[in-house]
Each structure stands twice: as C-alpha cells, then as structure tokens.
Amino acid sequence: MTTLKKSLGLRAALLSLLIFAAIVGLWQIAAQPPAASGPAVDPEYAKLVGAAAATGAKSAMPTPADIGVTIWKHLMDPFYVKGTNDKGIGIQLAYSLGRVLLGFGLAALFAVPLGFLIGMSPLVYRALDPFIQILKPVSPLAWMPLALYTIKDSAISSIFVIFICSVWPMLINTAFGVASVRREWLNVARTLEVGPFRTAFKVILPAAAPTIMTGMRISIGIAWLVIVAAEMLVGGTGIGYFVWNEWNNLSIANIVTAILLIGVVGLLLDQGLARLTKLVTYPE
C-alpha cells in the first residue's frame, strides 16, 4: 500500500517535470526570433530601432532562457532601493503582503463577529442577504475611484479595497457556519443550562470554525488577486506597481518574473490557511 502510494507520488512528480519541460521546450522553440528575412534596412535606421524592428518584424516574446536570467537577477538582489520609483522585487512583495495582511486582518475583525450575529438570527440573515449578494460580486477596480474620491489617500484606499473585497466570503461563510450548527448540540447545551456566551464560544465557535476558516482561505486568495490590480491602478509601490512599471517598458521578461512570484506567494498564503483549517477540523 505504502509503496504504491510512494510510487504514485513519484510518478506524479515525474509527470509534472515532464509537463514543465514540454512547456518550456515549446516556448523556447516558439519564441525563437525569425531568421532575418525582411528587406534589408539602412544601417543608420537599424541602429535606432530594436533588433526585431530592424528586420521588419515586431519585437519577439522573450525565451525561457531570457526569463531565467531575469529571475536570477531579481533573486540575487531583491532588496535594493534606487530611488522612490525603483525598488527591489523583495521590497515590492513585502509592501503588497503588508497591505493584504492589513486589509484582510481588518476584514476578519469585522466579518467574523458580524457573521456570528447574522448566523444566530434568521431574521437578520434574511434582511442583510440582498445587500451582501449585491456587493459581493463587485470588482475591486470599481471600488477604487470611489475610495480615492472619499478617502483621499491612495495608501488607505488600496487597503480599503482589499478589505471590501475580502470581507464577503468570510461574512457569508461565518454566518452559514453558525446557522448550520447542529440543532442537537445546541439543544444539549440548553438542557445543560449553559449561558449564551458560553454556548457561543464553547459550542458554536468550534462547530463553525472549519467553515469560517474556509471563508478566510477564499478571502485571502481574493485579497491577493485584488492587490495586484489595485496597485497597478494606484501605483507607487508593491508588486502590482512593479508589473505596471515594466509594462511601461514592455519588458515581458520582468512581467513573467512577477507573475511567477505572485503565484508562489499566493500558494504560500493559501497553504498557510489550509494548515490552520486542518487544525480546527473535527471528525463528525
């Protein structure tokens, strides 16, 4: 049994590696600059334009090798500061993470208690439902102009946007988790004459905890998606700004580097909350 499991893991890893090699290989072939076939241009003109434009083509997609070099360059020096608008990728990621954790933390502080109240009262649950349902699907970019206009501070605005986007899954999941605590458990508590506060903390909270944590896991994923968009819009610092600034320079290699790093950090955040969820899960 264990050997089978082990070999399955091994085979999966091998397959992953194979897929990776295939993607990189295909990319490398596809991104090869076309052989100079265009009309020969004036050397004086060729000097003034990019290598691709000189042969009458559009500038090409960078190859995986180019991107590897760029990633290496960024990882070797992630924390440099060369002025207000040029900071290392590590610093940019730290700014983004700070904003996400702040916005997400505030959202959790707000959503979990409120969700608790909503879940305990079917009346409030029904009354607030339409508001939540309407506000939940609104894109972060739609909130941004409103936030900038009313808050008048771009740093707080991006934190507000994280807050407003990550609050809904937590709110809904908490309310749902609290509302669907098994009747029998509440009845047992009532029979034992446990006070309302003790019931809330000793019975409902542990029972709803896995659902609440799932809500948090969804929220942090959304928050991490949102921050890149928000920073691209507002600029200044953060990984989203980095992507925007390299878009300015049409530097695809740098953008791909940022995409990979955003993916890795998102994975770490998700896995962290998955671990926490496991801690509070209980067998039925």
Partner 1 sequence: MFKDPFDPKTLLKPRCSCGGDHAPADHARLSAVPASDEQRFSRVVDAAVLRAVFPVDAQRRQFLKTVGATTAMAAISSVFPLATAREAFAQGGAPEKKDLKVGFIPITCATPIIMAHPMGFYSKQGLNVEVVKTAGWAVIRDKSLAKEYDAAHMLTPMPLAISLGIGSNPVPWTMPAVENINGQAITLAIKHKDKRNPKDWKGFRFAVPFDYSMHNYLLRYYVAEHGLDPDKDISIRSVPPAEMVANLRADNIDGYLGPDPFNQRAVFDGVGFIHVLTKELWDGHPCCAFTVSKEFATQNPNAYRALLKAIIEATAYASKQENRKEIARAIAPTNYLNQPETVLEQILTGTYADGLGAVKKDPNRIDFDPFPWNQFAIWIMTQMKRWGQLKGDVDYAKVAADVYLATDTANMMKEMGLTPPDPSKKTIVIMGKAFDPAKPNEYVESFAIKRS
From the CB of 159, what's the least distance to partner 1, in Å? 15
Closer residue to partner 1, CB minimum distance, 41 or 69: 41
Kindly tell me which of 131 and 149 has the beta carbon lying closer to partner 1.
149
Minimum Å gap between C-beta 164 and partner 1 is 18
DSSP the chain: -HHHHHHHHHHHHHHHHHHHHHHHHHHHHHTSPPPS-SPP--HHHHHHS-HHHHTTSPPPPPPHHHHHHHHHHHHHSTT-B-STT-B-HHHHHHHHHHHHHHHHHHHHHHHHHHHHHHHH-HHHHHHHHHHHHHHTT--HHHHHHHHHHHH--HHHHHHHHHHHHHHHHHHHHHHHHHHTS-HHHHHHHHHTT--HHHIIIIIIHHHHHHHHHHHHHHHHHHHHHHHHHHHHHH-SSSHHHHHHHHHHTT-HHHHHHHHHHHHHHHHHHHHHHHHHHHHH----
- Residue nearer to partner 1 on the CB measure, 20 or 45: 45
Neighbours of 77 (CB within 10 A): 10
Nearer to partner 1, 56 or 206 (CB): 56
Nearest in space to 189 (alpha carbons), one of 206, 164, 172: 206
Our CB check for partner 1 shows the closer of 49 and 127 to be 49
Is the CB of 129 or the CB of 153 nearer to partner 1? 153
- Tell me how many degrees the CA angle 128-197-206 measures, rounded to the nearest 5: 80
Nearer of residues 9 and 56 to partner 1, judged by Cβ: 56
List residues near partner 1 by CB under 8 A. 39, 41-42, 44-45, 47-50, 52-53, 56-59, 82-86, 145, 148-149, 152-154, 232-236, 241, 244-250
